[in-house]
Amino acid sequence: MKNDKEFSIKETVNKNIERVQFPAFNQHSSLLGWCSMNYPRVLQNPQFMPKPKPKEYDDNLDFLYQKRKKVLLKFQNQEQQNNQLIKPFTNYQLTKEAVIPEDVGVPPPGFKKTLKQLTTAKPESKALIYNQTYKDYDPYLNIKPINSQFKQEQNENFTRNIRQVGDVVYNQSYENEDIRHLKKLPNSILSEQNLQEVLTPKLRFLNLHNHTWLKMEQISKIGYFAINLEEIVLSNTDLEDDILMELAKSCKNLKYIDVSSCQKLTEIGIRNFLDFTSKYLQGFKCASNLQSITDYSLEPLQNAPLLQRINISFCNNLTSNFTKYLLQSGCRLQELQIATVENLQADLLSDLISRSKVDMELLDVSFIPTKDISDSVISATSLCTNIHTLILSGSTNISDSSVGRLSSLHKLKQLKLGGIQYLADNTLVYIAQSCNKLEMLELNNCSKLGEQGLEGILKALPNLQVISINFTPEISDAFLQEKRNEYPKVNIIRTINKMTDPKDDGLRMPLPLESVVMQRPKKKKKK
């Protein structure tokens, strides 16, 4: 009976399986090949399997650039180190010295430049690298300075700050699908999200030209976040009167604004803005606003003594009262652009140009074919010795003798004389010899320009880059090709030589020739 009590059928069966059945299962052919990945040969209890140790990361990343110095271990001398194998990196130690290479901010080979790089550097180090990397791209940036996109170091006591009454709060919302797609755009395109990150006290210049996807609610609060903003471009947007007035009140350091092609602005809105900002405004650009730019809306400019740049091109509703306002203000202009503004008197305009002869750098009086823009304006322009850009295209009333007075403008780099058909070769060569710093010259529709004149201009201008000579029938194609080969660095543009049929809109198909017309064979009559 004792043996019966100690007998266990369960133990006997387990021993039998382990001795007989398991070896057969272990050596079964189904365990070979891909099945071995799912059915291992060695069975282990997962509770006793060793767990992998977590990786240890070094949190000491305060320095962007690190270098290692080779040092001897304490228990070794020079002979022992040469004769004994040492594990890698055991004889190196980190040094807390920031090492900046010569090419700062240059990515490794095979990588492109990006505006936001994944680095552990502090904002001051990033700002230094960005200022040196993008110093040549300053005229093409939408944000100035470029380091304003880096966030400032967070205050340690930020949790204790309580929002006060009057603090500006803007909660960005992504309601439609278009806004969600804008989040996928690169950082170079300002969207509602990254614009909010850029609006900091460091920001000085902001270009929002044609940014119609931005909400007017966010644009109206730009001045509260970027309190030191000086220049802003809002051309070709849905800007309204109340938003413009809100910017005037919030941007207390505003010096220049561009509201060109903003069709929703009204005459009263422009006047209210200038009433508020005329005392400290230095630049105002409002081209292509036919309805809002009138003598009534620009009347507050008579109280703008600091005005330096103004552009009212394609605003044909203005009269000579506009020049009276500028004369009464006593301002000295650096840039004056009044293209297609025909209702101006020549004497008032010449007085305005003469008073700014020392500071004038850019003058645009193009497409004014009236008699008022005549020799008196050109004689006043010839006194502006510091001017570098002069545009007279389309002002056909200017004579050949008055154009010769422009030879005194030795600092001129860009000159446009298109449409002045009375210009002779001798006058153009004389201007080219006097203004030898010219880089761009436009002579479209100067029908009297010949081959000798073109050759003299190319010889007299060593810095010339572009010359446009459309509608010059006296210059042959063979001579033009010869000069292009002789001066490969100069871009000689002539896409149209002769005037085409004015009735031809390019949509009519010419009639086919009789020899080309194929006659279809006649069908045979059925019998």
Q: How far apart are the first and last CA of the chain?
A: 124
Question: Chain centroid to CA 519: how far?
Answer: 60
Alpha-carbon span 445 to 429, nearest angstrom: 17
> How confident is the model at residue 213, as a pLDDT?
82
Residue 309 sits at φ, ψ, to 5 deg, of -130, 130
Number of alpha carbons in the 13 Å side-chain half-sphere of residue 202: 15
Of 523 and 472, the one with more pLDDT: 472
pLDDT digits (tens, 9 = 90+) for 304-348: 999 999 999 999 889 889 999 999 999 999 999 999 888 888 888
User: Residue 176 above 80 pLDDT?
Assistant: no
Pair 233, 255: CB distance under 8 Å = no
Alpha-carbon span 130 to 115, nearest angstrom: 9
Residue 464 pLDDT grade (very low, low, confident, very high; cuts 50, 70, 90): very high
> How confident is the model at residue 398, as a pLDDT?
82
What are the extents of the domains in the chain? Answer: 336-500
User: Which spans in 422-486 are helix H?
Assistant: 425-434, 451-460, 477-486
Average pLDDT over every residue of 238-257: 93
Share of residues in the chain with pLDDT > 70 (%): 64
pLDDT digits (tens, 9 = 90+) for 478-507: 999 999 999 999 999 988 776 666 665 545
Share of residues in the chain with pLDDT > 90 (%): 34
User: Residue 360 above 60 pLDDT?
Assistant: yes
Residue from 481, 430, 421 nearest 453 by CA: 430
Ranking 56-60, 253-257, 486-490 by mean pLDDT, the lowest is: 56-60
Which helix H or strand E contains 178, and what residues bound it? helix 177-182
> How confident is the model at residue 307, as a pLDDT?
94
Residue 12 pLDDT grade (very low, low, confident, very high; cuts 50, 70, 90): confident
> How confident is the model at residue 79, as a pLDDT?
52
pLDDT digits (tens, 9 = 90+) for 397-448: 788 888 888 889 999 999 999 888 788 889 999 999 999 899 999 998 888 8
CB atoms within 10 A of CB 460: 18
User: Which spans in 108-172 are helix H?
Assistant: 123-133
Of 148 and 468, the one with more pLDDT: 468
Ranking 95-99, 202-206, 376-380, 403-407 by mean pLDDT, the lowest is: 95-99
User: Residue 244 above 90 pLDDT?
Assistant: yes
Residue 409 burial (10 A CB sphere; 0-12, 13-18, 19+): buried
> How confident is the model at residue 515, as a pLDDT?
47
pLDDT digits (tens, 9 = 90+) for 216-228: 888 999 999 999 9
Q: CATH says 336-500 is which class?
A: alpha beta
Alpha-carbon span 412 to 469, nearest angstrom: 19
> How confident is the model at residue 61, as a pLDDT?
47
Alpha-carbon span 75 to 281, nearest angstrom: 74
- Beta strands 67-70 and 92-95 are antiparallel
Pair 152, 142: CB distance under 8 Å = no
Alpha-carbon span 287 to 297, nearest angstrom: 14
Average pLDDT over every residue of 93-100: 49
User: Residue 292 above 70 pLDDT?
Assistant: yes
Residue 69 pLDDT grade (very low, low, confident, very high; cuts 50, 70, 90): very low
Tokens of residue 307, six digits: 């005005």
Alpha-carbon span 449 to 11, nearest angstrom: 116
User: Residue 56 above 50 pLDDT?
Assistant: yes
Pair 288, 262: CB distance under 8 Å = no
Average pLDDT over every residue of 26-48: 53
> Is the preceding omega at residue 305 within 30 degrees of 0, hence cis?
no
> How confident is the model at residue 513, as a pLDDT?
47
pLDDT digits (tens, 9 = 90+) for 112-167: 555 455 556 677 777 777 777 777 777 777 777 776 766 655 555 555 566 666 77
Tokens of residue 171, six digits: 């909660």
**Is the alpha carbon torsion for 379, 382, 383, 389 positive or negative?**
positive
